[in-house]
Amino acid sequence: MSKLKAKIQLSAAEVARLQLLVHKGKHSVRKIKRAQILLQLHDGKKHISVAEAVGVSLATVYNIHDRYLAGQLNALEEKARAGQPRKVTPSVEAAVTRIAGSESPEGKARWTVSLINARMVELGHALNDETVRLILKKASLSLG
C-alpha cells in the first residue's frame, strides 16, 4: 500500500485568496486549475475525484499536492521552462550595429544587409539576412 499523503489544510486567508483567484480576475487556466485542486483537496476530497472534477490527470493532482506541501501557495506558480536559447545575443546585436555604423567596404557605396551578414559570417556568426534586417530595425538604423 502506498504512503498516505499529508492532508492539505489551508488557512482562511489562503481559501479566500484561492476562491478569489478562481472566480475573479484574469489568470491562466493552469493557475485556476491548480487553485481548484487545492480547494478541493482542502475540502477532503480524494485525489482521483479531484482529478476527474478538474479535468486533469491524477499525477497532476499529486504534483500540486506535493508542491503545496513544499512551498504553500507557490504551488500555483509556473515553474521556469527550459527553452531554445537565443541565437542572437546582445553581443551579436552590438556587432551588427557596429558594422552598420562603420565605414562601408572598399568598392561599395554603403553597407547592405547581405554585406553585413557576410561580414558576420567572417566573424563566426551565421545569421540570416532577415535576422540582420530585424536587428537593424530594432536599433533604428537605416542603410538607405
Compute the distance between CA of residue 2 and CA of residue 47 in angstroms, rounded to an integer. 13
Compute the distance between CA of residue 34 and CA of residue 74 in angstroms, rounded to an integer. 11
Which grid coordinates belong to 73? 501557495
Least confident window among 6-15, 27-36, 110-119, 124-133? 6-15
Maximum alpha-carbon separation in the chain: 81
Could you read off the pLDDT of 10-31 as tens digits, one per residue? 778 888 888 888 888 787 888 8
43 pLDDT exceeds 80?
Answer: yes
Kindly report whether the global pTM for this prediction surpasses the value 0.75: no
Residue in this structure with the C-alpha cell 498516505, named with its chain if needed = 4
1 pLDDT exceeds 50?
Answer: no
Where do the domains of the chain lie? Answer: 12-76, 90-138
Q: Do 43 and 80 touch, CB atoms closer than 8 A?
A: no
